[in-house]
Amino acid sequence: MLPRNKRGIELSMNVVIIAILAILVLIFVSLFFTGGFTGIANKIKEIFGAQPIDEGTLRIRCDGLCSNYDLINSVSAKRDVWNQFCNEVREAYINNNGKIDTGESRTCEEITNCASINCAAEPS
């Protein structure tokens, strides 16, 4: 016969830890699906995202693409450089006020002249 003088049920430490972890997971999942992480995600993107550069640095990078274009023999590599030069929009501090204003996003074609790259016709 079992003794009937037990006053309560004992919980092991493992059950308590698992219950706490399960509650934390439920909280994080609910925050994720309700959009509670958007503020945190925006802060992380702001810190680690692509940083805008000044116009002079952008011009140097674009001139580098232009000078390397003639040295490339592969059509696919030329197409990649052509896309970077003609289509890739870069953010730059044009008026050096410390923030990106409307209209300060530019392609390399708008920043510098390159006789080697014709943006009107994709290389084939």
Per residue in 19-70, pLDDT (tens digit) is: 999 999 998 888 778 777 777 777 777 677 656 677 788 889 899 999 988 8
Query: In a 10 Å sphere around its CB, with 0-12 CB exposed, 13-18 middle and 19+ buried, how is residue 58 labelled?
Result: buried
Residue 95 falls inside a structural domain: yes
Residue 60 falls inside a structural domain: yes
pLDDT band at 17 (very low <50, low <70, confident <90, very high): very high
Report the domain count for the chain: 1
Residue 117 falls inside a structural domain: no
Enter the pTM of the model: 0.53
Residue 20 falls inside a structural domain: no
Higher pLDDT, 105 or 21: 21
* Phi, psi (degrees; rounded to nearest 5) at 16: -65, -45
| Res 2 pLDDT > 60 | no
| Res 106 pLDDT > 70 | yes
| Res 85 pLDDT > 80 | yes
| Domain span at 77 | 53-111
Residue 44 falls inside a structural domain: no
- Check residue 50 and give its pLDDT: 59
Residue 107 falls inside a structural domain: yes
Report the percent of the chain where pLDDT is more than 90: 20
Residue 83 falls inside a structural domain: yes
* Phi, psi (degrees; rounded to nearest 5) at 77: -70, -40
- Check residue 31 and give its pLDDT: 78
The Cα–Cα gap between 24 and 27 comes to 5
Residue 103 falls inside a structural domain: yes
**Alpha carbon distances (Å) from 105 to 53, 85, 92, 93, 118:** 11, 13, 6, 9, 20
- Check residue 95 and give its pLDDT: 66
